[in-house]
Every structure is written in structure tokens, then in C-alpha cells.
Structure 1
């Protein structure tokens, strides 16, 4: 009977170790995803802010040249975000 109990205890220890490893792996992946989301949110915020500023310049201020100039920014901001993401993924 003690042979059965020691085998059971070893199996439980292995399961606990495996569960701890999985939990640690999941925690690490979640932290990386959160950091990635923060960076992506910053670029997205910049793109949306430039769209809103462009609309402000066009409709409120009436400065069409500045509105068109600022209206070019979102594409550039998002292109830089995509480039940085691909560069990070390649490393």
C-alpha cells in the first residue's frame, strides 16, 4: 500500500510542477501582450489625434493647407507602428 501512496505522491508533485510551469509561461505571455498593447495604443492614439486635429483645422479654423498637411500624418504614424512591430517580431 505504501508503494501505491508514494507513486501517487510523485504523480501529484509532477502535476503541481507542470501546473506551475504552465502558469509561469502564461503569466510571461500575458505581460508581453500587455506591453505590446501599450505601444500599439500609443500609435493608434497619435493617428486618431492627428485626424481630429486635421478636421479641426479644416472645419473650425478654415486652414485647408494645414488640414491637408496634418491629414497626411495618420498613414505615416501607422506605417511606423507596423514597421516597428515587424522589426520586433523578427528579433
Structure 2
């Protein structure tokens, strides 16, 4: 079954829109949670190695996966809401 020129153009446009949506979905530099997680790891290393405070260093180091897990949860909620609204990602 061959696609007509109109169908082919519409399919190409849909693919391009999906690609743009995927590219703009996550920008690690603009996400404050990612920056906070990276800062948490750096501060953890400082406490653990430079200050010698291993307990607080480990505690602060656990902030990073907690922050990233919470961000992932809320992002999944937004995606689920969009899916429930009718598969429209625009």
C-alpha cells in the first residue's frame, strides 16, 4: 500500500514534530534538580574526603538519588496526565 504525497508529507511533519518534542523534553543543564543533585555529590565528596566527616558525607551523598527519583516521579505524572488527555504532546 503506497502513501500519497499528502499522506507522506503529513507523516514527515508528524515525525518532525515528535522529534522536536523529544529533543525539548529534557535539557539537563536547564533542569535545576539535576544541578542540585550534582552539587550534592560534590558537597558530599568535600565532606567525606576534605573534612573527614564520613557520616555527613554519606548523608549528603544520598540526596542526589532522592532528588533525581522525586524529579522522575513528577515528570512521569506530567506524562501520564498528557496521555490521559489524549496523547497530545504539544
Question: Normalized against structure 2, the TM-score is what?
Answer: 0.64
Q: Do structure 1's residue 30 and structure 2's residue 19 form an aligned pair? A: yes
Over the aligned positions, Cα root-mean-square deviation in angstroms equals 2.9
Superposition misfits of 4+ residues, deviation over 2 angstroms: 39-49, 61-66
Show CA shifts across 1:30-49 (max 9, x none): 12212222159734443233
Partner of 2:64: 74
- Paired residue total: 79
Question: Which protein is richer in helix relative to its size?
Answer: 1
Structure 2: give runs of 5+ residues left out of the alignment: 82-90
Structure 1: give runs of 5+ residues left out of the alignment: 1-13
Partner of 2:54: 64
Larger gyration radius, structure 1 or structure 2 = 1
Alpha-carbon deviation of 1:77? 0.8
Distance 2:78 2:60 in 1: 28
Work out whether residues 44 and 78 of structure 1, in 8 Å CA contact, stay in contact via their aligned partners in 2.
Answer: yes
Distance 2:37 2:64 in 1: 4
Alpha-carbon deviation of 1:60? 1.1
Partner of 1:46: 36
